Amino acid sequence: MVFKIKLHLLLVLSPFIFVPFNSNNSCNNYLSYLFISFSSDCYHNPDVNDNITNIIQRHTNSSETHHVQTQDGYILGLFRIRRDNPRGVILFQHPYNFDARIWVTQYNDSVAFLYWRAGYDVWLGNTRGSLYSKKHVTLKPSDSDFWDHSFHELAYYDLHATVEYVKKTTGGSKIIYVGYCMGAISGLIYASIKPEDASKSIQIMITLAPVISYQDAHGPLMTAIAILYKLQPLREYMGIYSVGRYDIWYLRLLRFFYLFFPFKKLLPYTISLFFGWTPDEMDPNYANLMVSHFGSEASLKVVDHGHQMHLDNRFQVYSYGNDHNMKVYGSPKPSLYSLEAIKLPVFIVCSYDDYISHYKDNERLFNSLPQEATIYGKLVVKGMNHFDYAYGKRRNEEVHNKVLQLLNSLCEDKSN
Ligand SMILES: *[C@@H]1O[C@H](CO)[C@@H](O)[C@H](O)[C@H]1NC(C)=O
Ligand SMILES: *[C@@H]1O[C@H](CO)[C@@H](O)[C@H](O)[C@H]1NC(C)=O
Ligand SMILES: *[C@@H]1O[C@H](CO)[C@@H](O)[C@H](O)[C@H]1NC(C)=O
Ligand SMILES: *[C@@H]1O[C@H](CO)[C@@H](O)[C@H](O)[C@H]1NC(C)=O
């Protein structure tokens, strides 16, 4: 009896016992993950179990870590892949529930390295609350006030502080801003509420998969967001103000389990269900890389803010309800972010197959911007979902090489 139980336990644990961390963890195709120890399509990728500074260092030898303090006391981590005499300076800002790792977890082919190799000084921002931005002068992440921010504060405080820091540290010339989903939304808000500051510091804003109203956004993620919104009183009663505390034990266990789970094709199917049906687009090489670096804590108020834009079909400030809005804003209706106020060029990149950043929403965004802001047009791609800008097989040919081409036409090569 005891022997039987032990045998079962051994069978259950066997993948964890017999697959040491320094063996193969990545494959060129999903099927090969079933034969990860024998297949010639598989290899060991050291980035899977490493941290961001080591990853950057391994591929570029140019890793720097910086910290920026916002006006309201948050201390944000900021990573730099340094290049002297660069063609230009680029600040990347990550999507919701992610952090700077999203730009460097495609092995040697990472998005950030592509731009760095093209001659740019690359900076990777981290919004408040995410893995590298958990410090505040007085608050702690366990305080509810620490999470009391919507897209608005990410723009007003975090972006302002980060953009100004990068500009100052690199010699005072205008920088290039690349925002992905939440990074794109807060970028647009920043350019709309601080148009003078933004146009003084940012040469061009590249928005990857932006959203302004979520009117056409659909899929189970939007349903989940609607349910979360309804549960707001319960969440607050239970003291839940953020999503993605990925250091909690069961999420760690789940991640650990998935890293050894051989049917990796489940990952692109799951992601496709939520973010756009393109299961063949996700690169199998990055399955474990993505999972081991997925998730960074973020405020639920940001999600609520997005859902309110969806409900009211307006690109507007966070709403506290009519009465409280009167107290906070002096008017019952939440005010609109004026896209007409934007004074810098915005280059929109979106996809027909993205459930969240819908191409129709992007059409409205394009048409709402002043003519001077849209001089470079926009780029609408096919067959890529909301995730594929980072982990899709064709992300470079469809998106990043084209963005680079535009940037190169604006920035002269200073390498020799
Ligand atoms: C890793 O994969 C290679 C084939 O690329 C294979 O020869 C090697 O034995 C594998 N190593 C381990 C430890 O799984
Ligand atoms: C990554 O690990 C190295 C040690 O291997 C450490 O020096 C560095 O501070 C770590 N970076 C981060 C961002 O934690
Ligand atoms: C970084 O420097 C080390 C030691 O000089 C060298 O071995 C390595 O190849 C360099 N890596 C890159 C990506 O340049
Ligand atoms: C990245 O590494 C892989 C495997 O070593 C190699 O085949 C590929 O050419 C490299 N890509 C770049 C851009 O260096």
Of all ligands present, the nearest one to the C-alpha of 38 is 1
For residue 38, give the ligand 1 atom closest to its CA.
6
Give pLDDT tens digits for 24-35.
999 999 999 999
For residue 65, give the ligand 2 atom closest to its CA.
13
Residue 9 lies in a domain: no
Averaged pLDDT score across all residues of the chain: 93
Which range marks the domain in which residue 322 is found?
45-246+295-415
CB 365 within 8 A of CB 394: no
Which CATH number goes with the domain that contains 170?
3.40.50.1820
Rounded to whole angstroms, the Cα distance separating 25 from 46 reads: 9
pLDDT band at 258 (very low <50, low <70, confident <90, very high): confident
Structure tokens at 407: 């940037």
Give the three-state DSSP class for 385.
coil
* 48: phi then psi, degrees, rounded to nearest 5: -60, -40
First to last CA, the chain: 75
Tokens 């932006």 found at: 210
- Residue 3 pLDDT greater than 80, yes or no: no
Residue 339 lies in a domain: yes
Residue 287 lies in a domain: no
- Using only C-alpha atoms, the chain has a radius of gyration, in whole angstroms, of 22
3-state per-residue secondary structure call for 333-381:
CCCECCHHHCCCCEEEEEECCCCCCCHHHHHHHHHHCCHHHHCCCEEEE
Percent of the chain with pLDDT over 70: 94
What contacts 24+ positions apart, CB below 8 Å, involve 20-27? 21/49, 25/49, 25/259, 25/288, 26/107, 26/285, 26/286, 26/287, 26/288, 26/289, 27/264, 27/284, 27/285
Pocket test for ligand 3, best of 55, 59, 61 (most atoms within 8 A of CB): 61
> What is the 61 CA–ligand 3 centroid distance (Å)?
6
Q: What are the residues whose beta carbons fall under 8 Å from the beta carbon of 312, sequence distance 6 or more?
A: 319, 334
List, in sequence order, every residue forming a beta bridge with 42; answer none if it has no partner. Answer: 27
Residue 18 confidence (pLDDT): 46
Residue 372 confidence (pLDDT): 96
> What is the 59 CA–ligand 1 centroid distance (Å)?
22
- Residue 246 pLDDT greater than 80, yes or no: no
Give the pLDDT mean for 302-322.
96
Residue 274 lies in a domain: no
- Total number of domains in the chain: 1
Give pLDDT tens digits for 71-82.
999 999 999 999
Residue 258 lies in a domain: no
Residue 86 lies in a domain: yes
- Residue 291 pLDDT greater than 50, yes or no: yes
pLDDT band at 252 (very low <50, low <70, confident <90, very high): confident
Residue 55 lies in a domain: yes
Residue 265 lies in a domain: no
Rounded to whole angstroms, the Cα distance separating 313 from 304 reads: 14
- Residue 248 pLDDT greater than 80, yes or no: no
CA dist list (Å): 48 to 41, 169, 343? 17, 31, 41
CA-wise closest residue to 262 among 10, 25, 5: 25
In degrees, to the nearest 5, what angle opens at C-alpha 249 toward C-alphas 237 and 46? 135
Cβ of residue 413 lying under 6 Å from some atom of ligand 4: no
pLDDT band at 253 (very low <50, low <70, confident <90, very high): confident
Residue 285 confidence (pLDDT): 97
**Burial class of residue 155, CB neighbours in 10 A (0-12, 13-18, 19+):** buried
- Residue 211 pLDDT greater than 80, yes or no: yes
Tokens 């899977």 found at: 48
Cβ of residue 46 lying under 6 Å from some atom of ligand 4: no
Of all ligands present, the nearest one to the C-alpha of 56 is 3
Give pLDDT tens digits for 350-360.
999 999 999 99
